[in-house]
Amino acid sequence: MEAYLQKVYDQENLTREEMQSVARAIFAGDLTQAQIAAFLMALKIKGETIEEMQAIAETMQGVAIQLPIASENTMDNCGTGGDKSLSFNVSTTSAFVLAAAGIKVAKHGNRSISSKSGSADVCQELGIDISLGAEDMVYLLENAGIAFLFAPHVHPNMKYVMAVRRELNTPTIFNLIGPLTNPVKLETQLMGIYRRDLLEQTAQVLGKLGRKRAIVVNGGGFMDEASLAGENHYALLENGEVTRHTFLPEDVGLKSQGLEAIQGGDAARNAEILLSVLKAEPSAYYDTVILNAGLGLLAHGKAATLEAGIQMARDLIDSGEAYAKLTKLLACQKERLAG
């Protein structure tokens, strides 16, 4: 183990097998907090490779709580976080739109690490129970078409790194691979990332992890979401090939707006924003959600073009179907817990 750690300190890449060995040691609690912190920072300075990202993601999935869900029509739209934009919960809001389109959404997420309100925080504010067991999550996915998978709950071995991540207070490889480690074996995915330089690389990792189709996006203003604040960049994984694409909001019929237009607040404020979007109240928040939900529909293959996906997302919100998915989730949760 010391040799592997020294190799990273010396700015040398680890092989897939070496990274798996380090990851197993981390998740078994065999490394000290100081060793983990030093390793994460050395890896960040060196730069994470495809093999390293794949290896730690596979290892993390291997020790996660398993959810036996059919993967064909199930997706996630979790982002890395770490963009420091202080935006509202874009992917959580968009998840209800995707679910309204008939896609089963296994929404992977966490409490706030670098923002005021993480997806888990806003879900709790909405009345969604984030502490459900594996069978309960499967029930909600099958009956409501959407379930929230609280990362520390489905990845109990992450307890060995949570304190280090908070103390470092900077994005690490765990931000990059968090969305890759959904315990449901997904075939499609939309993933936001805060690092534009890793778009193609991350899409390739998704392919190695079994995704047949996926989009990795970095938005205008370098958000880990598609945004209205300038040029958006995304990598599309399709049929084993990765292609790079860019677009401006105006290219898809939306108005450009600065990041300040979609800033959120605490969990209570972000829950208000989420509900206002699902109730079809016009705003920059609404436009940002139809953009990201449209991209998710394209990633899943429900829409043939981004423009078609955005129109589909708009229709799902304006018709009340997206809001109905939230009420359906809460009703199924109440039914399950009462039973």
- The answer on whether 83 is annotated among ligand-binding residues is yes
- Reported as a pLDDT band with limits 50, 70 and 90, residue 322 is very high
173: tokens are 């490889």
Q: Give the pLDDT score at 21.
A: 96
Q: State the fold for domain 1-62.
A: 1.20.970
pLDDT at 68 over 80: yes
Q: For a pLDDT cut of 90, what percent of the chain falls above it? A: 86
pLDDT at 90 over 70: yes
- The answer on whether 115 is annotated among ligand-binding residues is yes
Q: Give the pLDDT score at 113.
A: 56
- The answer on whether 244 is annotated among ligand-binding residues is no
- The answer on whether 283 is annotated among ligand-binding residues is no
pLDDT at 1 over 70: yes
Q: Give the pLDDT score at 86.
A: 86
CB atoms within 10 A of CB 286: 22
Per-residue pLDDT averaged across 78-94, rounded?
89
- Reported as a pLDDT band with limits 50, 70 and 90, residue 278 is very high
In the chain, domain spans: 1-62, 74-152+183-329
- The answer on whether 155 is annotated among ligand-binding residues is no
- The answer on whether 12 is annotated among ligand-binding residues is no
- Alpha-carbon separation of residue 143 from 150, 194, 216, 328, 338 (angstroms): 19, 33, 28, 9, 15
The per-residue pLDDT for range 96-112, each reduced to its tens digit, is 999 999 999 999 987 76
- The answer on whether 107 is annotated among ligand-binding residues is yes
Which of 39-53, 63-77, 177-191, 254-268 shows the lowest mean pLDDT across its residues? 63-77
Burial of residue 244 (CB within 10 Å: 0-12, 13-18, 19+) is exposed
- Reported as a pLDDT band with limits 50, 70 and 90, residue 305 is very high
- The answer on whether 92 is annotated among ligand-binding residues is yes
Q: Give the pLDDT score at 115.
A: 56
Name the residue type at position 219.
G
The per-residue pLDDT for range 110-130, each reduced to its tens digit, is 776 555 678 889 999 999 999
Which of 7-16, 149-158, 215-224 shows the lowest mean pLDDT across its residues? 149-158
- The answer on whether 318 is annotated among ligand-binding residues is no
The per-residue pLDDT for range 233-248, each reduced to its tens digit, is 999 999 999 999 999 9
Which of 50-64, 105-119, 153-167, 321-335 shows the lowest mean pLDDT across its residues? 105-119
Q: Measured between alpha carbons, how far is 157 from 169 in angstroms, rounded to an integer?
A: 20
Q: Give the pLDDT score at 304.
A: 97
- The answer on whether 240 is annotated among ligand-binding residues is no
Q: Measured between alpha carbons, how far is 234 from 334 in angstroms, rounded to an integer?
A: 38
Q: Give the pLDDT score at 250.
A: 98
Strands 74-76 and 104-109: parallel
- The answer on whether 16 is annotated among ligand-binding residues is no
Mean pLDDT of the residues in the chain = 94
CB atoms within 10 A of CB 159: 11
- The answer on whether 131 is annotated among ligand-binding residues is no
- The answer on whether 109 is annotated among ligand-binding residues is yes
Q: Give the pLDDT score at 81.
A: 81
pLDDT at 72 over 90: no
- The answer on whether 89 is annotated among ligand-binding residues is yes
Domains 1-62 and 74-152+183-329 share a fold: no
Is the CATH number of domain 74-152+183-329 3.40.470.10? no
pLDDT at 213 over 60: yes
Q: What is the DSSP letter of 263?
A: B
Q: Measured between alpha carbons, how far is 80 from 223 in angstroms, rounded to an integer?
A: 10
- The answer on whether 112 is annotated among ligand-binding residues is yes
Helix or strand holding residue 210 (H, E): none
- The answer on whether 165 is annotated among ligand-binding residues is yes
- The answer on whether 111 is annotated among ligand-binding residues is yes
Per-residue pLDDT averaged across 183-206, rounded?
95
